[in-house]
Structure 1
Amino acid sequence: MIPFHELLFFILAALVLVMSPGPNMIYLISKSITQGKKSGFISLAGVVCGFLFHIVMVSFGLTAVLLAVPFAYGILKTIGTVYLLYLAYQAIKPKSKNIFEVDKSSPHDGPKKLFTVGFLTNVLNPKVAVFYLSFFPQFIKPQYGSVLTQSLELGVVQVLVSFSVNFIIVLTAAKVAVFFSNNPVWIKVQKWFMASVLTYLAIKMAFSKAK
């Protein structure tokens, strides 16, 4: 089992990932605002199943790679650091769009399509795969037991964090959209805060060492 204090840092990283704008968040916000909370929850179910797909694939993949190629840790750490810095830039780049501005004229989708698109949006989202591949090895240590078990443990924690945050997003999307439209300064505050946290995580990862 992974020590609780290390899980806390992983939870922070997972929280930042799910709160940083990406295909999953944009899709959930769009459907929640244009079709209502029920459609948002159906879409969220698809997104969560997409996470489960990533967890299974990455868990077995990491088990094979980390046991067979020790220096893979350094490669994955570098990829993760660069990607976090990229996300930080994306958060504050000029003319970045407010994700709560959606096209309300888009056609309504049925439950099957909502779930399927939510699933595929997550499965085909490279951000999720990169997060798993680059972050999991930072917390997986041989002395903590089975690599596969630790990877699955981190996956379950990440899904719980993602589900909780996205659940709140679906519930409050319409209200938050109105708030940001009336208080545009908070959009800049949110973007710079997110960029700062991402940069901190990137620096921490860059100087982390395998144990």
Structure 2
Amino acid sequence: MSDSTFLMYLLALAGAFLLPGPDMALVLATGAARGVATALVTALGIAGARAMHVALSGAGLAALMVTHPEALQWVKWAGAAYLFYLAARLLQAALSRRDAEETAAPATAHSARASLVRGFLTNLLNPKALLFCSMFLPQFVVANGERMGLQYLRLGAALVLVGLLFDAVYAVLAARLARRMRGKPSPYGKFVLPTVFVLLAGRLVTG
């Protein structure tokens, strides 16, 4: 792949990650509600899921889903069910008396692991992310160039790293904007994430 083609690929990735989507919404909402550290851990989980999507699309699973729409629909419903489950858990925590203490306390290993898994599964159970990889990456693979597997690996690694960079920027911006907009924690801030998860679930099912 020539340098100009790879630069075009990076610009196309930047354009894709600048468009509003479920991953951006999740990172922004997490950064605003839970702070930059939790949002960055969530972004790492999303990056891990993107790497999985790259591998699955290379293995042909995306093509299998296209030829079997019922499988695609099952993945959609599984993703929506998971997002509704997260919304219910977060809402339950928001209504509990311990929520204020847990929010003010430093992040624990358990909360970091939960944020990582949340980001990973939210992206992994979004079939659109898998279909995006399967349709976008092959357009930049040169058939008569170096081994196609190696090209695909490089393109996939660039996709994951560029996506992580954008998510990290979104996490920092959301956390800083949230701090500036409120002098003290809003009593409604704890309901931001549950609302986002419900909206993402509805978009996943109807999209």
CA distance in 2, matches of 1:13, 1:32: 26
Q: Using the TM superposition, give the Cα deviation of residue 41 of structure 1 relative to its aligned residue in structure 2, in angstroms.
A: 1.2
Matched AA of 2:122: T
How far residue 119 of structure 1 moved from its aligned partner, in angstroms, is 0.1
1:141 maps to a residue whose letter is V
* Aligned-partner Cα distance in 2 for 1:137–1:47: 22
Q: Which residue of 1 aligns with 2:192?
A: none
- Cα distance change on mapping 1:17 and 1:177 into 2, 3 Å: farther
* Per-residue deviation, 1:48: 0.9
Query: What is the aligned partner in structure 2 of residue 148 from structure 1?
Result: 149
The equivalent of 2:42 in structure 1 is 43
Task: Please say if residues 58 and 129 of structure 1, whose CA atoms lie closer than 8 Å, have aligned partners that are also in contact.
Answer: yes
Q: Residue in 2 aligned with 1:10?
A: 9
- Figure out how many residues of one structure are paired with residues of the other and give that number: 140
Q: Is the 8 A contact 1:43 1:114 kept in 2?
A: yes
What are the Cα deviations for residues 133-157 of structure 1, in whole angstroms up to 9, with x where unaligned?
1111211122112221111111011
Whether the aligned pair in 2 keeps the contact of 1:59 and 1:152 (CA below 8 Å) is no
In the TM superposition, what is the alpha-carbon distance from 1:172 to its structure 2 partner?
A: 1.0
Unaligned runs of 5+ in 1: 66-74, 76-102, 181-211
In 2, Cα distance between equivalents of 1:18 and 1:141:
23
Partner amino acid, structure 1, of 2:55: V
The question of whether the paired residues in 2 share the 8 Å contact of 1:60 and 1:148 is answered with no
Report the Cα distance in structure 1 between the residues aligned to 2:6 and 2:177, rounded to whole angstroms.
Answer: 30
Q: After the TM superposition, which residues 32-111 of structure 1 pair with which residues of structure 2 at under 5 Å, given as runs?
A: 32-61=31-60, 110-111=111-112
Paired residues of 2:36 and 2:175 also in contact (CA < 8 A)? no
* Structure 1 residues 39 and 6, CA gap change in structure 2 (3 angstroms): same
Separation in structure 1 between the aligned mates of residue 28 and residue 36 of structure 2, nearest angstrom: 10
2:125 corresponds to which residue? Answer: 124
Q: Deviations over 1:148-206 (max 9, x none)?
A: 111111101111211111111111114456899xxxxxxxxxxxxxxxxxxxxxxxxxx
> What's the RMSD between the two structures over aligned residues?
2.7
Question: 5 Å matches for 1:144-183?
Answer: 144-176=145-177
Sort the Cα spacing of 1:146 and 1:60 in 2 relative to 1 into closer, same or farther, 3 A.
farther
Deviation at 1:126, TM superposition (A): 2.8
Structure 2: 5+ residue stretches without partners? 67-90, 104-109, 182-207
Letter in 2 for 1:15: A
**TM-score after normalising by structure 2:** 0.60
Shift in alpha-carbon separation, 1:148–1:42, aligned structure 2, 3 A: same
Structure 2 CA distance for partners of 1:39 and 1:178, relative to 1, 3 Å: closer
Q: 1:177 & 1:111 partners in 2: Cα distance?
A: 20
Does residue 37 of structure 2 align to residue 28 of structure 1?
no
